[in-house]
Chain A
Amino acid sequence: MLSRRKRIGAAGVAVLVTAVSGCAGWGGGAGGGGEDSINVLMVNNPQMVDLQKLTADNFTKQTGIKVNFTVLPENDVRDKISQEFSSQAGQYDVASVSNFEIPIYAKSKWIAPLSDYIGQDASFDQDDVLKPMTQSMTAEDGKIYGEPFYGESSFLMYRKDVLAAKGVTMPAKPTWQQVADIAAKVDNAQPGMRGICLRGQPGWGQLFAPLTTVVNTFGGTWFTQDWQAKVDAPEFTEATKFYVDLVRAHGEAGAPQAGFTECLNNTIQSNVAMWYDATSAAGSLEAPNSPVKGKMGYAPAPVVKTDSSGWLYAWAWGIQEASKKKDNAWKFISWASGKDYEKLVGEKVGWSNVPAGKRASTYEIPEYVKEAAAFAEPTKSAIENADPTDPGVQPRPAPGIQFVDIPEFPDLGTQVSQDVSSAIAGRMSVDEALKRGQELADDVAERYRSRQAK
């Protein structure tokens, strides 16, 4: 019968494919691979991609531990990491979490404390790690729960040549008003060049990263210490209006969609004269084939009422509590965040690709300092001046500079950022956006108040 013939044929195909796929996808349970392999889930930033390339020939050869990577874009990987860790699925041993997740996951006991491993690992040298980094990864019980892979703060990057041509000097410690004035002066200094690039893309880690630091230094805050939401307060409103007006007046084209990558592109292609963003951008701007190499100046993050305003962020490694291979996982972390790895990257890939911003010793490697001369010192001092426990003018109920370290913040920040992004696009007023934001924030704050009352 025809269908029987088809079925035999199909069964034959199935057998063939089954045999072939002995190599593929028959995992199940806690991931595939042998006894000595670990699974790592990480974001696909360039530093991680380099890590993926270097692991087999270096780490696996030295230790015999095979590493299986899953690499995803930031939004996707955050969702997957939170799902994985919240259910303790045990699929992955190590994940690239940030200093945002670490305190939260530590409190929920989703990641394992590393203090014992650190104590026994002589070569790791925790003291070499920059203090704010270590502090942001220490939970309330005093134990360290993560190790940074690379860290960043924020600063102001500007085209020295463009400013000089217009007779403008950047102050050593600029204020936001000064920056706005400079942006106005250098707007259209070259054909098609806008004054400044600021992120406008919706996302708690996109638009609200720089915007929250602006809010902090204008004297505003998301929540007061007794959990009152202050999103539509005068300081927050003033800061947001300043940011939105600056972007609309002298900012890049396509601002409501512009995230880190778009602003990086704009700066490299000389479409903007200034850019306030992560210190990690400098590595790409000063890369050998960058058209703006050598032309950029670096100033501290602009301030108003505070002494410093750079943010603090690190992509770090955490070990899942449900992992059964914690020892191997620590070996991997110790290697990836160790001093030798940085030298390895410098030699094999390039000194501007070194995952910096976490160790003081990095800034003493001669080749690195030579390569990163323009931005090494500003980066290091930006990180060292960041204080996640006291970033603004008033006490905070939870740590964090450019975020509030509570689990509800990604959802809250993203929703409010969508409205602020609409304001940048001119589709909504800032007051309306912040009014909605206040309702959402108050919703969150109410739960915390009731918990505090208990």
Chain B
Amino acid sequence: MSVDAKPDTAVKPARRAAPPGSQGTMLRKTGDWARRGPLLPALVFMIIVTQLPFVVTIVVSFMDWNAYYPDERGFAGIDNFRRVLTDANTRHAIWVTIVLTAGVVLISLVLGLLIALLLDRKFRGRGAVRTMMITPFLVVPVAAALLWKHALYNPTYGLFNGVLKWLFGENAPQPDWISNQPLWSIIFALVWQWTPFMMLILLAGLQSRPLDVIEAAGIDGANQWEIFRYMTLPHLRQYLELSALLGSIYVVQNFDAVFTITSGGLGTANLPYTIYQTFYTAHDYGRASAAGVIVVIGTIVIATLALRSVSTLFREETGR
């Protein structure tokens, strides 16, 4: 960062090229609105498209609304919330969501870091390897889920069991991957798709290290491990946080993989799937909306704690 922080008062007039001696407050107000102006379209758009539906969701969550019984529509108070919070399925879904998200994000992060370290060196065909690595991320997610479920995991004609038969002959073990380890099957498939994403971010982080300092440290006698631990990792911290944040946002919401691979069965129903099922199979709109509201509150609480206190991502330069 090459911009020094200047005191506000000195900066503002120069930026606005205002005639000297203008009233402070008036121009400051215009200045504020001139700054907000460009932001407004995006902000207004987001508020209309995301917050309005959410308000409706809140309203519906207080209603007893089941599409199959239109005569019984009415106000339900907090009945829906009570049922959601005491329902064993919902509690299990919360647990599944946490395990799924943490599992996918942490494993992809570690794998991504290791692979990024591997790719940080120049070697023949590095570009080709990088291209191969990013391919999983570019496959349409539902196609990837179908691929894993039917072409790889299937115990009768999937590739994994086929390879086992190749290696060990006719009597090879032919495990039913999805039935034996349903949640891990999903985690594995998602890790395959998200590791390239993590790897790209971390690779860019590695390649933006100030090399001269590192070389100097190397010449001064620090070994690879020390360089990694005391110089590379701190530099990578923001990249790691960014990858974890983006990955979590997307994996928490993941629906396609759960729907496709296990249809939410065998205990793998995460929150988006449970809410979907309550909407479309049970048609209990009130209860599904209540679940949605609870999820939003929970996520925002966690996000606020995590992002504002722990992360360095928001502690950027202030006062520009």
Do A and B share a direct contact in the complex (Cβ within 8 angstroms)?
Answer: yes
The answer to whether the Cβ of A262 comes within 8 Å of any Cβ in the partner chain is: yes
Given A104-B68, A108-B68: A254 and B283 interface contact (C-beta under 8 Å) = no
Contact A79 B156 (CB under 8 A): no
CB distance from A443 to the nearest CB of B (A): 10
CB-CB under 8 A from A262, the residues of chain B are 154, 156
- Count contacts on A: residues with CB < 8 A to the other chain: 35
Given A75-B263, A202-B263: A86 and B179 interface contact (C-beta under 8 Å) = no
Q: Which one of A191, A192, A253 has the greatest number of beta carbons of chain B within 10 Å?
A: A253
Contact B281 A414 (CB under 8 A): yes
A107-134 vs B: 1/0 string, CB under 8 Å?
A: 0100000000000000000000000000
The answer to whether the Cβ of B129 comes within 8 Å of any Cβ in the partner chain is: no
Contact A82 B157 (CB under 8 A): no
The answer to whether the Cβ of B277 comes within 8 Å of any Cβ in the partner chain is: yes
For residue A422, which residue of chain B has the nearest CB?
B266
The answer to whether the Cβ of A87 comes within 8 Å of any Cβ in the partner chain is: yes
CB-CB under 8 A from B263, the residues of chain A are 75, 202-203
Contact A425 B180 (CB under 8 A): yes
User: Which of B155, B174, B282 lies in contact with A257, CB distance below 8 A?
Assistant: B155
B271-288 vs A: 1/0 string, CB under 8 Å?
A: 000000100111100000
Using a CB-CB cutoff of 8 Å, which residues 197-220 of chain A contact chain B? 201-203
Instruction: Provide the bound-state CA to CA distance between A408 and B283, in Å.
Output: 9
The answer to whether the Cβ of B210 comes within 8 Å of any Cβ in the partner chain is: no
For residue A269, which residue of chain B has the nearest CB?
B156
Given A257-B155, A271-B156, A425-B179: A408 and B267 interface contact (C-beta under 8 Å) = no
CB-CB under 8 A from B277, the residues of chain A are 411, 414
Contact B176 A415 (CB under 8 A): no
CB distance from B225 to the nearest CB of A (A): 43
Q: How large is the interface on B (under 10, 10 to 19, 20 to 34, 35 or more residues)?
A: 20 to 34
CB distance from A261 to the nearest CB of B (A): 10
CB-CB under 8 A from B178, the residues of chain A are 257
The answer to whether the Cβ of A39 comes within 8 Å of any Cβ in the partner chain is: no
Contact A421 B156 (CB under 8 A): no
Given A191-B170, A202-B263, A421-B265: A253 and B155 interface contact (C-beta under 8 Å) = yes
Given A108-B68, A254-B179: A265 and B266 interface contact (C-beta under 8 Å) = no
Given A83-B280, A408-B282: A265 and B156 interface contact (C-beta under 8 Å) = yes
The answer to whether the Cβ of A266 comes within 8 Å of any Cβ in the partner chain is: yes
User: Which of B156, B157, B283 lies in contact with A86, CB distance below 8 A?
Assistant: B283
For residue A107, which residue of chain B has the nearest CB?
B68
The answer to whether the Cβ of A418 comes within 8 Å of any Cβ in the partner chain is: yes
A408-425 vs B: 1/0 string, CB under 8 Å?
A: 101100110110011001
The answer to whether the Cβ of B238 comes within 8 Å of any Cβ in the partner chain is: no
Contact A421 B280 (CB under 8 A): no
The answer to whether the Cβ of A256 comes within 8 Å of any Cβ in the partner chain is: yes
Contact B265 A253 (CB under 8 A): no
Instruction: Provide the bound-state CA to CA distance between A271 and B277, in Å.
Output: 34
Using a CB-CB cutoff of 8 Å, which residues 234-291 of chain B contact chain A? 263-267, 277, 280-283
CB distance from A436 to the nearest CB of B (A): 8
B215-236 vs A: 1/0 string, CB under 8 Å?
A: 0000000000000000000000
CB-CB under 8 A from B151, the residues of chain A are none
CB-CB under 8 A from A418, the residues of chain B are 264-267
Q: Which one of B170, B179, B283 has the greatest number of beta carbons of chain A within 10 Å?
A: B179
Contact A202 B266 (CB under 8 A): yes
CB distance from B288 to the nearest CB of A (A): 12
The answer to whether the Cβ of A407 comes within 8 Å of any Cβ in the partner chain is: yes
Contact B68 A407 (CB under 8 A): yes
The answer to whether the Cβ of B67 comes within 8 Å of any Cβ in the partner chain is: yes
Contact B176 A256 (CB under 8 A): yes
Instruction: Provide the bound-state CA to CA distance between A13 and B174, in Å.
Output: 52
A245-261 vs B: 1/0 string, CB under 8 Å?
A: 00000000111110000
Using a CB-CB cutoff of 8 Å, which residues 175-213 of chain A contact chain B? 191-192, 201-203
CB-CB under 8 A from B282, the residues of chain A are 408, 411
Instruction: Provide the bound-state CA to CA distance between A352 and B264, in Å.
Output: 35
CB distance from B222 to the nearest CB of A (A): 43
CB-CB under 8 A from B267, the residues of chain A are 418, 422
Instruction: Provide the bound-state CA to CA distance between A79 and B259, in Å.
Output: 12
B171-207 vs A: 1/0 string, CB under 8 Å?
A: 0001010111000000000000000000000000000
User: Which of A203, A256, A271, A410 lies in contact with B179, CB distance below 8 A?
Assistant: A256
Given A192-B170, A407-B283: A257 and B176 interface contact (C-beta under 8 Å) = yes
The answer to whether the Cβ of B37 comes within 8 Å of any Cβ in the partner chain is: no
Contact A86 B176 (CB under 8 A): no
The answer to whether the Cβ of B57 comes within 8 Å of any Cβ in the partner chain is: no
For residue B178, which residue of chain A has the nearest CB?
A257
A7-30 vs B: 1/0 string, CB under 8 Å?
A: 000000000000000000000000
User: Which of A79, A191, A192, A421 lies in contact with B266, CB distance below 8 A?
Assistant: A421
The answer to whether the Cβ of B19 comes within 8 Å of any Cβ in the partner chain is: no
CB distance from B24 to the nearest CB of A (A): 31
The answer to whether the Cβ of B89 comes within 8 Å of any Cβ in the partner chain is: yes
Contact A254 B155 (CB under 8 A): yes
Instruction: Provide the bound-state CA to CA distance between A417 and B281, in Å.
Output: 14
The answer to whether the Cβ of B70 comes within 8 Å of any Cβ in the partner chain is: yes
Given A191-B170, A425-B266: A86 and B180 interface contact (C-beta under 8 Å) = no
For residue A413, which residue of chain B has the nearest CB?
B281
CB distance from A283 to the nearest CB of B (A): 21
Contact B68 A86 (CB under 8 A): yes
B54-82 vs A: 1/0 string, CB under 8 Å?
A: 00000000000001101000000000000
CB-CB under 8 A from A266, the residues of chain B are 156
Instruction: Provide the bound-state CA to CA distance between A123 and B89, in Å.
Output: 52
Question: Could you pull out 15 A-B pairs where Cβ atoms are within 8 angstroms?
Answer: A82-B67, A82-B283, A201-B265, A203-B265, A253-B155, A253-B174, A254-B156, A256-B266, A257-B178, A265-B156, A265-B157, A271-B156, A411-B282, A421-B179, A421-B266
A residues contacting B by CB (< 8 A) are 75, 79, 82-83, 86-87, 104, 108, 191-192, 201-203, 253-257, 262, 265-266, 269, 271, 407-408, 410-411, 414-415, 417-418, 421-422, 425, 427
The 6 A-B pairs with the shortest beta carbon distances in the complex, nearest first, are: A254-B155, A202-B265, A86-B67, A256-B179, A407-B68, A254-B176
